[in-house]
Amino acid sequence: MNNADFRASIRGIIAQGFTLEGLQTLDRYAELFISGKLVYQRFSPLEQRGCAAGGETHVIASLLAGAEDSSDSDYPSTLNDFQRECQRGAQQEEYIERWARAVGCWTECVDELLPNMLGEQIAEGGEAKVYDHGATLIKSIGLDYFIQPILALDRISLHNVYFPETQLSVICFGRDAEGAFKIIVEQPFIVGSHVSDDEIAGYMAGMGFELKNARNWAYASPDIYLSDMHDENVLRSEEGNIFVVDCDIRINTPELRAGGVRTLSTDVYFVSE
């Protein structure tokens, strides 16, 4: 199977309404992805393993989001770039929601489900609500920073590569009371103290990242851009280890204007079957 055949297969599964056969095919693609036999050219090999670490639900959602392949010519010329991005995001949301409903990993109102299941909400940030789940945290992540689900799903893959001690696993998807799309993830609970900006800068330099903008705590390498690396998102454990529990992390493309060299692809190739 080549890339064109794969994309046609995914589009067919979507068009046919996620039949039992289609769902079985998606499961098979996820297995091939996780085993490295389906190579997703968006990612380096290590990043693909980070995507796999998010679980099969995360892998399938990433492949479905990548099936949205509209070009600018598919949209009315009156739309600006932001409006086109929103339309792409809405299409990706639709694909993921229809699949998630078919396999039972969708919830109608996460605002009601998570408190009823987990109890106390312990934190809220710009794009996530955090719930106490004992040894782990459950986070309801929105698309405020990303607009397109595929970019929010990339964030999970990249986080798992660079910060594996606080790995994110995708549980399900849903919408809040206002109808906003949410990704529900689980993460280890870390007890720690805050780390200073200077210490964070030293930590990031040791990982090969350069400070790009102190105002939004942004760092970059030619491959990766990340921001929100402030003292509420970076903790030091009692043992002195540093843990990054949250940040905005992306594939660094030239459009981000931070010295990025990457391109965003959704093409695949198969090593063997």
C-beta neighbour count of 127 within 10 angstroms:
20
- Reported as a single tens digit per residue, the pLDDT across 12-67 is 999 999 999 999 999 999 999 999 999 999 999 999 999 999 999 999 999 999 99
H helix runs in the chain, sequence order: 3-15, 20-35, 45-53, 56-65, 81-103, 110-118, 149-162, 197-206
* CA-wise closest residue to 263 among 67, 46, 71, 42: 42
Q: Is residue 273 part of a domain?
A: no
Instruction: Tell me whether residue 265 is in a domain.
Output: no
Residues 110 and 57 in one domain: no
The total number of structural domains that make up the chain: 3
Q: What is the H or E stretch that residue 131 is in?
A: strand 128-133
φ/ψ (deg, to 5) at 77: -65, -15
Q: Are 85 and 148 in contact (CB under 8 A)?
A: yes
What CATH number does the domain containing 158 carry?
3.30.200.20
Q: Are residues 92 and 170 in the same domain?
A: no
- Give the alpha-carbon dihedral of 50, 126, 226, 150, to 10 degrees: 50
What range does the domain containing 206 cover? 193-253
Which residues face 251 on adjacent strands?
Answer: 224
**Sign of the alpha-carbon dihedral angle for 112, 115, 118, 121:** positive
157: in domain: yes
Q: Tell whether 54 is covered by a domain.
A: yes
pLDDT digits (tens, 9 = 90+) for 101-145: 999 999 988 888 777 776 678 888 777 888 888 889 899 999 988
The position carrying tokens 């949209």 is 75
Statement to judge: residues 82 and 19 lie in one domain: yes
- Tell me, yes or no, whether 81 and 61 share the same domain: yes
The least confident of 72-81, 102-111, 227-236, 243-252 is 72-81
CA distance 2 to 139: 37
pLDDT digits (tens, 9 = 90+) for 172-192: 999 998 999 999 999 998 888
Q: Do 215 and 234 fall into the same domain?
A: yes
Domain identity same for 147 and 78: no
Domain contains 46: yes
Question: How confident is the prediction for the chain on average, in pLDDT?
Answer: 91
The residue out of 71, 104, 137 marking a domain boundary is 104
Question: What H or E segment, with its residue span, contains residue 255?
Answer: none
Residue 262 falls inside a structural domain: no
Within a domain: residue 264?
Answer: no
